[in-house]
Amino acid sequence: MINKDELLIVVDPGHGGWDNGASWEGRLEKDDNLRLGLQVRDQLLAQNIPVLMTRDSDVYVTLADRASMANEAGADLFVSLHRNSYPEQTPSAMGVENFIYLTAPEDTTGKAAQLVLDSVVDVGVQANRGVSRGDYYVLRRTQMPAMLLEMGFIINEIDNQLFDEHLTDYAKAIVKGIMQYFELSDPPGEAPQKCPPCPECPNPEVMRAQLLLGNHFGLNVPLTGFYGEDSRWATVIALQKAINNDLDATLKVDGELGPPTLEAFGRKFPGHRGNVVFVIQLALMLNGHHIGDPDGIFGWGTQAAVRRFQEENNLVADGVVDGNTLLRLT
């Protein structure tokens, strides 16, 4: 029997940020995916099952990053949430469907997908479209059983009505199917009203920053979802590399934020751009501050995040990253 706290379930709300996904009369797939994903997260946490969100806000996360987060975290199951669509309304464009990869084993991935789909269907749907196989990136590149669940057609008003009315019940059903797959007999309980940040929960923003830090600067950064010494050291290494690259400096890349690095860094404020700003944005994410997509441009979103960080750390909240702010960030 598997213990709940030994599991890690990845919940992947599809699309996000500039990627709206499918849409219909102002309704955006990315919003529905996130609404359901947060409910599934809360239901999993209510059962004391660890969960990792690939995103928990309206941000864009690449498909590669979503798969890498799950793989690096050693997850046991990957559940990607979507809404279906079609170029035009037809009688058959309705109902729920679950996808697995083309060559995924039936006795593991197929079983998990079928149990989750059956549980969702029990809540009430227009049509059960079954478990199908597809060549989706997140199914192809994840190293654990993975499914892509299409929760009704966004172009179908009845599917939309069912989605809205049964949102929490659908989330419970998804968790029920997951628990059945892992042979956990307890039925889903009531989710808490809000899941506040806590030291026990991996932060997806932190994990995304760790992934970007490693990929962009060629560093080995453990994807833990927690900002620890490894991430701090990697951030300073990245900063020193960025200063040398952007400012033609000759800093020793040693991971020590000493006077030479602080002097070369100077001050960064709105209007600046480049690799140094990109590292500042990653440092903000590592400290739990949402900035959207890090782009190396010190714009209003980065400035607002800097001010929030400064306020929390009793610094002058001017939105300018000077030596004192940099020392606190890293």
Residue percentage of the chain with pLDDT more than 70: 95
Q: What is the pLDDT of residue 81?
A: 98
What backbone torsions phi and psi does residue 81 show, to the nearest 5 degrees?
Answer: -110, 130
| pLDDT > 60? residue 57 | yes
User: 167-181 and 111-123 are packed helices; what angle lies between their axes, rounded to 10 degrees?
Assistant: 150
Interatomic CA distance for residues 59 and 30, integer angstroms: 10
Q: What is the pLDDT of residue 198?
A: 56
For the chain, percent helix, then strand, then coil, each to nearest 5? 45, 15, 40
pLDDT in tens, 163-199: 999 999 999 999 999 999 999 975 555 544 445 555 5
Mean pLDDT for the chain overall: 91
Q: What is the pLDDT of residue 301?
A: 82
Residues 6+ apart with CB under 8 A from 242: 217, 274, 275, 276, 278, 279
Q: What is the pTM of this model?
A: 0.69
Domain ranges for the chain: 4-181, 204-329
DSSP 289-305: ---SS--SB--HHHHHH
Q: What is the pLDDT of residue 186?
A: 57
pLDDT in tens, 225-279: 889 999 999 999 999 999 999 999 999 999 999 999 999 999 998 889 999 999 9
Q: Do domains 4-181 and 204-329 have the same CATH topology?
A: no
Q: What is the pLDDT of residue 192?
A: 46
**pLDDT winner (highest mean) among 149-153, 270-274, 305-309:** 149-153
Which range is least confidently modeled, 227-236, 245-254, 290-299, 319-328?
290-299
| pLDDT > 50? residue 83 | yes
A 10 A CB-CB count for 228 gives: 12
Q: What's the CATH number of domain 204-329, 1.20.1330.10, 3.40.50.300, 1.10.101.10, 3.30.230.10?
A: 1.10.101.10
The whole-number average pLDDT for the span 299-311 is 88
Residues 6+ apart with CB under 8 A from 107: none
Q: What is the pLDDT of residue 282?
A: 94
Q: What is the pLDDT of residue 273?
A: 92
Count of alpha carbons within 13 angstroms of residue 253, beta-carbon side:
15
Q: What is the pLDDT of residue 191?
A: 47
Q: Which residues are the active-site residues?
A: 150
Q: What is the pLDDT of residue 283?
A: 95
Give which of 187, 192, 244 is closest to 46, Cα–Cα. Answer: 192
* CATH architecture of structural domain 4-181: 3-Layer(aba) Sandwich (3.40)
The whole-number average pLDDT for the span 52-76 is 92
Please name the residue that has the structure tokens 């951030």.
235
74's tokens: 């050693």
pLDDT in tens, 192-211: 444 555 556 777 778 888 88
Q: What is the pLDDT of residue 187?
A: 52
